[in-house]
Amino acid sequence: MEPTILIGLFFITICIFAVGLLTFLLPKKVRKFVWVILGIILICSYIYQGTIRPLIIEQQTGKAIEVLEGHLEEKYSMDSWGITDTDDFNIKPVINLHVIFDSEPKVVYEYTVEDTVVSQVRMWTISGKSVEESGIEPQHEE
């Protein structure tokens, strides 16, 4: 599991534990009902964080890669490339993807994909320097 998911699960567990301790201030019949509700919330949270959320992110990233592939095929049909995601584990409307063209293996291009809109955000070299510092003339700048 990713660290962000583990942190989320830890936070949820601590909150439910704290509310569970507060239930000792309630009457016995109400306390049992609240514990059942807290247990259901805890189980549902673990199911969501562990299985549903990663599937949503995977699907979202897959769609963004398809849109970016279409954009790159249209714009650079004579070239080939590799696409990787940025290891973001958040469900969000904008997806960031990294592209390395086979004809320019030392430069990484970062694209954002929002719905069907593709934008080139920035570029840098594999070594981590900016393109300007390294003196490389980018061939795929948009």
Indicate the SS3 state at residue 79.
coil
**pLDDT by residue (tens digit) across 51-69?**
898 888 889 999 999 999 9
Mean pLDDT of 108-121: 91
Comparing 38 with 88, the larger pLDDT belongs to: 38
- pTM of the prediction? 0.74
Mean pLDDT of 69-95: 85
Say which range, 14-18, 25-29, 91-95, has the weakest mean pLDDT.
91-95
Judged on CB neighbours under 10 Å (0-12, 13-18, 19+), 72 is buried
Query: pLDDT at position 131, please?
Result: 84
- Structure tokens that stand for 22 in this block: 């507060």
Residue matched to tokens 């929002």: 114
CA nearest to 9, candidates 46, 55, 64:
46
**pLDDT by residue (tens digit) across 19-51?**
999 999 999 989 999 999 999 999 999 999 888
Rounded to whole angstroms, the Cα distance separating 85 from 15 reads 32
Question: How would you classify the pairing of strands 104-114 and 94-101?
Answer: antiparallel
In the predicted model, what is the mean pLDDT of the chain? 88
